[in-house]
Chain A
Amino acid sequence: MSQEGVGAPLPRKEDDRLMRGRGQYVGDIRLPGMQDVAFVRSPLAHARIRAIHVPEAYRDRVFTAADLDGVLPIRAVSGLPGFKVSEQPVLATDKVRQVGELVAMCVAPTRAEAEDIAAAVVLDLEELPAVHDMLAAREPGSALVHEHWGDNVFLETLVDVNIAAALDAPIRVSRTISTGRQCMAPIEGRGTVVQLDHRLDQIVVHTASQMPHIVRNGLSECLQIEQGRIRIVSPDVGGGFGYKAILLAEDVALCWLALRCGHPVRWLEDRREHLTANANCREHHYRITAYAERDGTLRGIDCEATVDSGAYSAYPFSACLEAAQVASILPGPYDFPAYRCRTWSVATNKCPILPYRGVARTGVCFALELVLDAVAREAGIAPEIVREKNLVRPGQMPFENITRKHFDSGDYPEALARALKAIDVAAVRARQERGEADGRRIGLGLSIYCEQAAHGTSVYSGWGIPMVPGHEQASARLTPDGGLELRIGAHSHGQGLETTLAQVAHEILGVPVARTRLVHGDTAMTPYSTGSWGSRVMVMAGGAVAAACEELRDRAVRIGAHLLQAKVEACRFEGGHVVGPNGDVPLATIARTWYRRPQDLAPDTDPGGLEVTAGYKPQRDSGTFSYAAHAAVVAVDPDLGAVEILDYAIVEDGGTLVNPLVVDGQIYGGLAQGIGTALFEEMRFDARGQPLASTFADYLLPGPAEVPMARIDHMETPSPYTRFGQKGIGEGGAIAPPAALANAINDALRTLGVEMLHSPVTPHRIVEAVLAAKARSAPARARQAA
């Protein structure tokens, strides 16, 4: 390994800019003549629009659906059989279907003035019953979000692999488990600035996006404008987490407005819009039954899973990806012989559900890991035993599981064993036995997951959504002074790609990381890509950068051989030099020769030069499987419900780590979000579909005091299918913590007869459950005494 290549723990190049406050975000863009937009949003979750009254003075500053000639609604259709299509109007037409839905667009020199205009617009709405509960929404007689469907179900799916064979198992444990609705809450919200470039006849859209090329597809379809007339620029992005992998109606509306007004226009999402109108994720409901032998060996899992998909199918991931994925990934890292899972993606009068770091995996892990602990209690064995009995074993690799997921490599039992050692189970059990002086109760919780990442064409063509990843491409260009420029169509917004892709290039070409620049986030300058999602970029763009650099290297060797007056076959590339039998020539000289002294090149030199675009797919595109075992120790105050995380250990396997520091950062960040899911974050709605939090005073995020310094241990089992053996790991940190922490809390409160099955596990919910358990046991004690 070289000092800067694959595996080197380099600090991130981009941090010099980002940590000094010199990042350049959409909100930093100032353009001459730019005006601000504020939207009139629906105050009701479900209503018919009778009229929109615009004061005469603002007629030319307010636009409604009636003005939007030629703009089509957003349609994110899935090809799965039975999927019902929703059409999300850019500005509401006859009905509004969620609080915060766009009704009118107001433009003014400043945001404050635009909000004044918005406040003067009066909506005449006829309120309809709101569909706010996904289970009730499935019942006959429910109000309908999309009347012409006849029900509220986007999609129902069923997988049944011989569940009948499990039904006679001696242990049968059923639970109802659910996860709260969340908001992703990146530091930077959404934002879009649109200007017209008359020279190139283009609409230039500066927008905080994880996937600029996909945004261009969507805008082109909605605006009915050819793609060549649209350029997407995604500058520095302050956290994405999936929220910025979505085409918003706001983006479409602003493009139309710029074309209409001629001057640049800007919309910057504020936190209230973020929380109440746009960013929703995670809400799952499970009725799950585990069948097992008395020794903990699983015989089967049977599950009914419902996902609250909200009012519309979001572009490009659709309303069904979350629930349909539940069915395919619920078995997690376990091997068992029988399985049934029925899923529903349900339409409600809430914001569309969007993919959030971990996507369906976090809910699935929560449901399965909690039910495994219930099996352990029922069988009277330790939770780690149940897991040891059922984990996929290294000898089975590569392993095809019960839903035909193809596990590429790994040693899951080893990860569990290391996590148990790191957390020191015996010491925790001894402390539990002793009890705490302050009356708190200690609990130990485990959680294991696998994360399919960088899954490609064969997987996504099956979902049939508007976006199917194919070959990933990257460009590599040597500059005349020997520097290197890399271009990728994916985006870096916290992943550290400016550093890690330079490391990949260094591994091949030996160019110092400091001399390598990553150009990304601009459809005018980068190859097409579906973008940054699904923990795919290090595998896909990493592979593509390597492929481009390898081709560049081969071309350089041919030029270098000529300069060395040697045969190509007699030369090799080493440490940034072409080395021949009688000397060597550095890459910078080769670059200078190609660009500045072409007279020195061979007459038959390759005219392709020192700029290469190459494509890449792993040998199998079914995805890499990274995984981790999390172990948590908590202290729970049963009287106040306060939970303190005393210790947290993570053993993860991301295959070959391109940069272990960056991987650690991804895990810490994911853990913080996982703690939010576990203990704090919840967007609740009332029966009228009103969101009950509009600021961070009501929507609680964990802060520095709530996130412990976790201990991370890396295993490195390379993937046999990827360029360096690397696996996608970007989301994993957020997947396991809710289950590990809930299991730890349940372990702590076990002797009180308390079992928490809904996330977030808030103090109020804990106290409520403790008091209820006491009330249940009091009559029993009274009977015993009598």
Chain B
Amino acid sequence: MKPAPFAWERPASLPALLDRLATAPGSVKLMAGGQSLGPMLNLRLVEPDLVLDITGVPELRQARLEAGTLVLGACVTHADIEDGRVPDNTGGALRRVASAIAYRPVRNRGTVGGSLAHADPAADWVSALTALGAAVEIAGRDGLRTLPLEAFVTGALDVALRPGEILVAVRVPARPAGAAWGYVKHCAKIGEFAHAIGAVLIEPGTGRGRAVIGAVEGPPLLFADASPLFGGRIGPDFAERFDPGAADAALHAAGMADAVARHVHVTVLARAVAQAAEPSPQSLPEAA
């Protein structure tokens, strides 16, 4: 379980990184925390000619609030978020998600940008940040572009990066006043990748709501308008109005044929809804 030979470089600036990405011959893999790429290299599932370590670029490790929007550099670690070393505009939602990702050693090294770019459907950030309405900043030699996360993650382990581009930051909008948050994942054991994820961001006051069913075969199933899951209307009584049949039908329509898997996903979503309806502070999103 040793990787095939590869070259390794650690550029010190974003222009240098983008330059190398564009000009390096052969195949290139970007490494941030290396918590997924490391094992993939060792198992020889990937055999790049060059690994570009992006953690030497200072701005990728920074986080700031920008007019209420949280901008997390791609190399901010799960532990940075868990420990509160970055600002929070989500009422603690990000911290709670971060604190239950895998195990602490993984959280010490794993990064939010790496997790999104790897796009494992069972990973937490893919689902949680989609529910929170996050977007990603993408840099190329031609400049920056921004994509909503749901447009960025195009499939299992598949994202909308073009050749020569890298994900540099995640933009998380502030959690609206009065918005309720629920996030539940189901694992066979603590720290394991999720078998099902449910995430909801509900605004009972305005009637708006987003919901995500994650850890499915492709990208997370997003209900940008979650009202169909609540009999067509979101109000203060949203928890009582939750309609499991609507979620089940959506999963069916999305191609999830296995009834057991649908039952588990619908249950987890229902529990995320129930969690959102609990008076805060909410309990930690432990593996269900």
Most buried by B among A119, A270, A640: A640
Partner of A680, one of B2, B188, B193: B188
B151 at the interface (CB under 8 A from A): no
Q: Which residues on A sit within 8 Å (CB–CB) of B196?
A: 640
Q: Which residues on A sit within 8 Å (CB–CB) of B263?
A: 639, 767, 771
Q: How far is the CB of B51 from chain A (nearest CB, A)?
A: 15
A771-B260, A771-B263 known; A112 vs B188 contact (CB < 8 Å): no
Q: Which residues on B sit within 8 Å (CB–CB) of A272?
A: 1, 43
B3 at the interface (CB under 8 A from A): yes
Q: Which residues on B sit within 8 Å (CB–CB) of A695?
A: 39, 43
Give Cα A272 to B1, complex, Å.
7
Question: A697 and B193: CB pair below 8 A?
Answer: yes
**CB-CB nearest in chain B for A765:** B260
Question: A680 and B44: CB pair below 8 A?
Answer: no
Question: B260 and A703: CB pair below 8 A?
Answer: no
Proximity string of chain B (1-21) to chain A, C-beta cutoff 8 Å, 1 when within and 0 when not: 111110000000000000000
**CB-CB nearest in chain B for A111:** B2
A112-B3, A642-B288 known; A703 vs B268 contact (CB < 8 Å): no
Q: How far is the CB of A770 from chain B (nearest CB, A)?
A: 9
Question: A771 and B190: CB pair below 8 A?
Answer: no
Q: Which residues on A sit within 8 Å (CB–CB) of B193?
A: 697
Proximity string of chain B (170-197) to chain A, C-beta cutoff 8 Å, 1 when within and 0 when not: 0000000000000000101111110110
Question: A115 and B189: CB pair below 8 A?
Answer: no
Partner of A640, one of B44, B191, B267: B267
Question: A640 and B189: CB pair below 8 A?
Answer: no
In the complex, which residues 152-174 of chain B have their Cβ closer than 8 Å to any Cβ of chain A? none
A421 at the interface (CB under 8 A from B): no
Q: Which residues on B sit within 8 Å (CB–CB) of A702?
A: 189
Q: Which residues on B sit within 8 Å (CB–CB) of A697?
A: 192-193
A764 at the interface (CB under 8 A from B): yes
In the complex, which residues 267-300 of chain A have their Cβ closer than 8 Å to any Cβ of chain B? 270-272
Give Cα A764 to B3, complex, Å.
34
Give Cα A119 to B288, complex, Å.
42
B57 at the interface (CB under 8 A from A): no
B147 at the interface (CB under 8 A from A): no
**CB-CB nearest in chain A for B259:** A771
Question: A705 and B190: CB pair below 8 A?
Answer: yes
Q: Which residues on A sit within 8 Å (CB–CB) of B1?
A: 115, 270-272
B contact residues, range = 20 to 34
Question: B4 and A116: CB pair below 8 A?
Answer: yes
Give Cα A230 to B52, complex, Å.
49
B224 at the interface (CB under 8 A from A): no
**CB-CB nearest in chain A for B288:** A640
Give Cα A62 to B259, complex, Å.
50
A771-B259, A771-B263 known; A763 vs B188 contact (CB < 8 Å): yes
Give Cα A762 to B186, complex, Å.
13
Q: Which residues on B sit within 8 Å (CB–CB) of A116?
A: 4-5
A381 at the interface (CB under 8 A from B): no
Give Cα A637 to B259, complex, Å.
17
A709 at the interface (CB under 8 A from B): no
B264 at the interface (CB under 8 A from A): yes
Q: How far is the CB of B6 from chain A (nearest CB, A)?
A: 11
Q: Which residues on B sit within 8 Å (CB–CB) of A271?
A: 1
In the complex, which residues 661-718 of chain A have their Cβ closer than 8 Å to any Cβ of chain B? 680, 694-695, 697, 700, 702-703, 705-706
A768 at the interface (CB under 8 A from B): yes
Give Cα A767 to B195, complex, Å.
13
Give Cα A637 to B286, complex, Å.
14
In the complex, which residues 47-91 of chain B have their Cβ closer than 8 Å to any Cβ of chain A? none
Q: How far is the CB of A658 from chain B (nearest CB, A)?
A: 35
Question: A768 and B43: CB pair below 8 A?
Answer: no
Give Cα A768 to B193, complex, Å.
20
**CB-CB nearest in chain B for A697:** B193
Give Cα A762 to B189, complex, Å.
10
Question: A767 and B260: CB pair below 8 A?
Answer: yes
Q: How far is the CB of A35 from chain B (nearest CB, A)?
A: 14
In the complex, which residues 536-561 of chain A have their Cβ closer than 8 Å to any Cβ of chain B? none
Q: How far is the CB of B226 from chain A (nearest CB, A)?
A: 21
Q: Which residues on A sit within 8 Å (CB–CB) of B195?
A: 763-764
In the complex, which residues 113-172 of chain B have their Cβ closer than 8 Å to any Cβ of chain A? none
Q: How far is the CB of B273 from chain A (nearest CB, A)?
A: 14
Question: B2 and A642: CB pair below 8 A?
Answer: no
Give Cα A641 to B288, complex, Å.
10
Q: Which residues on A sit within 8 Å (CB–CB) of B191?
A: 703, 705
In the complex, which residues 755-781 of chain A have their Cβ closer than 8 Å to any Cβ of chain B? 762-764, 767-768, 771
**CB-CB nearest in chain B for A774:** B263
Question: A764 and B268: CB pair below 8 A?
Answer: no
Partner of A762, one of B39, B188, B268: B188
Question: B260 and A768: CB pair below 8 A?
Answer: yes
Give Cα A271 to B191, complex, Å.
19
Give Cα A658 to B189, complex, Å.
36
Q: How far is the CB of A115 from chain B (nearest CB, A)?
A: 5
Q: How far is the CB of B129 from chain A (nearest CB, A)?
A: 22
In the complex, which residues 58-117 of chain A have their Cβ closer than 8 Å to any Cβ of chain B? 110-112, 115-116
Partner of B189, one of A639, A694, A706, A771: A706
Question: A639 and B3: CB pair below 8 A?
Answer: no
**CB-CB nearest in chain A for B47:** A119
Q: Which residues on A sit within 8 Å (CB–CB) of B192?
A: 697, 700
Q: Which residues on A sit within 8 Å (CB–CB) of B2?
A: 110-112, 115
Q: Which residues on A sit within 8 Å (CB–CB) of B186?
A: 640, 642, 763
Q: Which residues on A sit within 8 Å (CB–CB) of B188?
A: 680, 700, 762-763
Question: A640 and B264: CB pair below 8 A?
Answer: yes
A272-B43, A640-B288, A771-B260 known; A119 vs B190 contact (CB < 8 Å): no
Q: How far is the CB of B284 from chain A (nearest CB, A)?
A: 13
A119-B44, A767-B263, A767-B264 known; A680 vs B189 contact (CB < 8 Å): yes
Q: Which residues on B sit within 8 Å (CB–CB) of A119?
A: 4, 44
Question: 5 tightest A-B contacts by CB?
Answer: A112-B2, A705-B190, A270-B1, A639-B267, A768-B260
Given A115-B44, A272-B1, A680-B189: 20 more A-B contacts, CB < 8 Å = A110-B2, A111-B2, A115-B2, A119-B4, A639-B263, A639-B264, A640-B267, A642-B186, A642-B288, A694-B43, A697-B192, A703-B190, A703-B191, A705-B189, A705-B190, A705-B191, A706-B189, A763-B186, A767-B263, A768-B260
- Return 9 A-B CB contacts under 8 Å, by A number: A115-B2, A695-B43, A697-B193, A702-B189, A703-B190, A703-B191, A705-B189, A763-B186, A768-B260
